[in-house]
Amino acid sequence: MLYEIYDAQFSNNQWSGGSGAIWDLSQNQQRPLDWTSADASGLAILPGLIRYQETYIDQEINHAIRFTLSSIQAAYIQPATHSDGRGGHDANKPPMGLRLRLKAGFDISGFDQPIQVILTAMKKYGIILTDTGGDMFISGEHHDAWDDDVLRQLSDVTLNDFEAVETGPITPYPHDWTP
């Protein structure tokens, strides 16, 4: 089982959180439509994280990578089941669950090996829009051995280096987000 909590806080010997989800990893199920999780998309966070082991030791990432953008349409593409709707119903903004793939012709040869591992996964499995946040922000597990100087090379990769992958219809999110 995987337990994820958004805005987890520990106070007065008690845990609390804004929202959360319990994932049975032995089953291939998604959240009910329009349900959130610890991520605004309704998806689990853990499967989309980059891990030190796969990047530096195994040198292979076998999954899509989660990413964020600052303005998102109030809609989603499955497997996402939710949107925070902060971008309103503007069809020019991307929906939650949008899958992008690093263009095949993007040259990764000038990057350090760990970044080449990440970029190869972005070409093969893509990245999935899972939350509102910094533009093109990807997430990794906490690990003391990450080399921030190497990871900064990812800032050389921009949204224009990706192409959208057709994965299904866009479902409008029925609620408006109010700050």
Sequence length of the chain is 179
Q: Is residue 54 part of a domain?
A: yes
Q: Is residue 23 part of a domain?
A: no
Q: Is residue 63 part of a domain?
A: yes
pLDDT recorded at residue 31: 83
Q: Is residue 11 part of a domain?
A: no
Phi, psi dihedrals of residue 159, rounded to the nearest 5°: -55, -30
What does the alpha-carbon distance between residue 116 and residue 122 come to, in Å, rounded to a whole number?
10
pLDDT digits (tens, 9 = 90+) for 71-108: 999 999 999 999 987 888 888 999 999 999 999 999 99
Q: Is residue 153 part of a domain?
A: yes
Q: Is residue 15 part of a domain?
A: no
pLDDT recorded at residue 20: 82
What integer is the mean pLDDT of 135-151? 95
Structural domain boundaries enclosing 152? 32-172
Q: Is residue 144 part of a domain?
A: yes
What does the alpha-carbon distance between residue 124 and residue 101 come to, in Å, rounded to a whole number?
7
| Statement: residue 128 has pLDDT above 70 | yes
pLDDT recorded at residue 19: 83
| Statement: residue 177 has pLDDT above 80 | no
pLDDT digits (tens, 9 = 90+) for 154-171: 999 999 999 999 889 999
- Number of separate domains in the chain: 1
Q: Which of 54, 57, 60 is nearest to 120 (CA)?
A: 60
Q: Is residue 37 part of a domain?
A: yes
